[in-house]
């Protein structure tokens, strides 16, 4: 059944090939980077190689393999197609490990009921984080006193229903990205910590760590952070310095604990030792740093940025599942998926009836059967009167994840967030 999580790729496979990056040539169209593209100097995950400079940058950025689209760019020989790497079956097996037996007591109210409170908390949190981080940008000492009650409110909102606030924080723009990202990672760290059974006080420390993890970006010029095009090697090196810059800021702040300092310094590390700034591998990374890495990546790839549109939440989970061997701790990643759902709130899905619906809430004890608002018929291509559907009590099942752009659908018309 978990196959329903994956896009039906057969129709695209004829034009897509996976090749070693060393076989790339000018004129190829890179459809997908097989790795952690957000830590490369490329401002998109898909692009055409138009110059030898692009090719050199691609082959030296740490990515080992790429998917190319032969309809949009040059082809290569069939004999060098790569067959290694995570398959759909691998991803399916990974997701099958997710623990679906957690008590529903963790989710006390519906997402819809929590939204009003979550919106107020989000506004308050973003204002406080903006003020706090802007003070840091102006060279003032970091003080987190006013942020402590904000973390407490975020904790309580996540405890009532994690989907509401986490869903809201995905709605960012280039002007507020850094501040909203901090609030989002705070909420995600709290949701993940609770799901892992970590004690309340430590979970709140994890929330503060999420709030502060990118404080080092306050030392990076906005012209680089908000650049709408590809970063130069020098600019990328400057951006990659933000964990160490942040750690230096936090180490002189007496009211910041070691968890926040650890997550700030190590949230871009990878379990295969290919991250930065210290290239630490699995056994040398704390549990908290591994949690920070997963939460940071998920929010980054689901958010609209100045240089790219965010991916659909469910597609992001699928992509992260294909990266996780090498990037993430398996146990942490699987628990993260359990915390936010295989089909996170806001995911557009096609049901077995052919109708489209948007996921509006989770069923914690049955992640494959969330609650869905059905609103569109694919057979007659028209909107229907919206109807709420609890898939745990329905004969319908999810057939696939859908792209709203393909159906020319504005999810803002139907999604609760």
Are 177 and 306 within 8 A, CB to CB?
yes
User: CB-based burial of residue 195 (10 Å sphere; 0-12 exposed, 13-18 middle, 19+ buried)?
Assistant: buried
Angle between helices 258-266 and 242-251 (to 10 degrees): 170
Q: Which pairs with CB-CB distance under 8 Å and at least 24 residues apart come from 384-391?
A: 384/355, 386/414, 388/360, 389/351, 389/357, 390/363, 391/363
Which residues, listed in sequence order, are joined to residue 377 by a DSSP beta bridge? 355, 382
Cα–Cα distance measured from residue 415 to residue 272, given in angstroms and rounded to the nearest whole number = 38
**CA dihedral (283, 286, 291, 293) positive or negative:** negative
pLDDT at 297 over 90: yes
Tokens linked to 40: 């490369």
Q: Highest mean pLDDT: which of 26-30, 32-36, 127-131?
A: 127-131
pLDDT tens digits along 159-208: 999 999 998 988 777 678 889 999 999 999 999 999 999 999 999 999 99
Count CA atoms closer than 13 A to 283's CA, side-chain side. 0
Tokens linked to 162: 């994690």
Domains of the chain from N-terminus onward: 2-85 (no CATH), 104-340 (1.10.3210.10), 348-413 (no CATH)
**Residue-level pLDDT at 207:** 98
Are 5 and 95 within 8 A, CB to CB?
yes
Cα–Cα distance measured from residue 127 to residue 217, given in angstroms and rounded to the nearest whole number = 17
**Residue-level pLDDT at 42:** 63
Computed over every residue of the chain, the mean pLDDT equals 84
Please choose, from the candidates 330, 348, 301, 266, the residue with its C-alpha nearest in 3D space to the C-alpha of residue 184. Answer: 301
Cα–Cα distance measured from residue 150 to residue 183, given in angstroms and rounded to the nearest whole number = 10
Cβ neighbour number for residue 279 with a 10 Å cutoff: 12
Are 5 and 322 within 8 A, CB to CB?
no
Looking at per-residue confidence, does 311 or 131 come out higher?
A: 131
Q: Which pairs with CB-CB distance under 8 Å and at least 24 residues apart come from 238-242?
A: 240/39, 240/268, 240/276, 240/277, 241/216, 241/277, 242/214, 242/216, 242/217
Looking at per-residue confidence, does 88 or 229 come out higher?
A: 229
Q: Give the torsion through C-alpha atoms of 182, 187, 188, 189, to 10 deg.
A: 90
pLDDT at 219 over 50: yes
User: CB-based burial of residue 385 (10 Å sphere; 0-12 exposed, 13-18 middle, 19+ buried)?
Assistant: exposed
Mean pLDDT value of segment 229-246: 94
Cα–Cα distance measured from residue 208 to residue 152, given in angstroms and rounded to the nearest whole number = 9
**CA dihedral (167, 169, 170, 172) positive or negative:** positive
Are 125 and 154 within 8 A, CB to CB?
yes
Strand runs labelled E in 305-392: 348-351, 355-361, 371-377, 382-390
pLDDT bucket at 78, cuts 50 / 70 / 90: very low
Please choose, from the candidates 85, 77, 79, 84, the residue with its C-alpha nearest in 3D space to the C-alpha of residue 25. Answer: 77
pLDDT at 258 over 90: yes
pLDDT bucket at 98, cuts 50 / 70 / 90: very low
**Residue-level pLDDT at 72:** 86
**Alpha helices, H only, 161-241:** 162-168, 177-195, 200-212, 222-225, 233-239
pLDDT more than 70, % of the chain: 85
**Residue-level pLDDT at 144:** 92
pLDDT bucket at 69, cuts 50 / 70 / 90: confident
Are 33 and 66 within 8 A, CB to CB?
yes
């Amino acid at each position: 059944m978990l196959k329903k999580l994956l896009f039906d790729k057969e129709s695209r496979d004829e034009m897509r090939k996976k090749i070693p990056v060393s076989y790339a040539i000018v004129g190829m169209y890179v459809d997908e980077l097989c790795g952690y593209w957000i830590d490369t100097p490329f401002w998109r995950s898909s692009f055409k190689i138009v110059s030898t400079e692009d090719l050199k940058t691609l082959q030296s950025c740490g990515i080992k393999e790429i998917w190319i689209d032969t309809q949009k760019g040059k082809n290569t020989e069939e004999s060098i197609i790569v067959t290694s790497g995570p398959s759909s079956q691998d991803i399916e097996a990974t997701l099958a490990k997710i623990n679906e037996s957690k008590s529903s007591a963790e989710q006390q109210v519906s997402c819809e009921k929590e939204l009003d409170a979550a919106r107020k908390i989000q506004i308050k949190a973003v204002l406080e984080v903006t003020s706090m981080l802007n003070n840091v940008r102006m060279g003032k000492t970091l003080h987190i006193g006013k942020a402590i009650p904000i973390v407490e409110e975020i904790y309580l909102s996540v405890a009532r229903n994690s989907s509401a606030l986490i869903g809201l924080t995905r709605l960012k723009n280039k002007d507020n990205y850094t501040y909203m990202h901090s609030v989002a990672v705070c909420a995600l760290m709290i949701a993940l910590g609770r799901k892992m059974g970590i004690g309340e006080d430590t979970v709140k420390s994890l929330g503060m760590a999420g709030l502060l993890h990118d404080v080092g970006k306050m030392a990076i010029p906005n012209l680089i952070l908000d650049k709408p095009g590809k970063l130069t090697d020098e600019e990328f090196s400057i951006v990659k310095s933000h964990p160490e810059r942040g750690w230096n800021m936090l180490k002189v702040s007496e009211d910041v604990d070691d968890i926040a300092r650890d997550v700030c310094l190590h949230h871009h590390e990878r379990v295969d030792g290919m991250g930065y700034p210290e290239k630490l591998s699995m056994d040398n990374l704390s549990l908290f740093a591994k949690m920070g890495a997963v939460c940071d990546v998920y929010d980054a790839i689901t958010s609209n940025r100045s240089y790219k549109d965010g991916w659909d939440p469910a597609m992001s989970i699928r992509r992260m599942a294909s990266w996780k061997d090498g990037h993430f701790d398996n146990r942490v990643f699987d628990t993260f998926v359990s915390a936010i759902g295989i089909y996170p709130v806001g995911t557009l899905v096609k049901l077995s009836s052919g109708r489209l619906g948007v996921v509006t809430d989770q069923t914690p004890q049955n992640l494959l059967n969330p609650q869905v608002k059905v609103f569109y018929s694919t057979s007659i291509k028209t909107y229907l009167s919206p109807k709420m559907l609890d898939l745990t009590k329905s004969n319908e099942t999810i057939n696939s994840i859908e792209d709203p752009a393909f159906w020319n659908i504005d999810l803002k018309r139907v999604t609760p967030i």
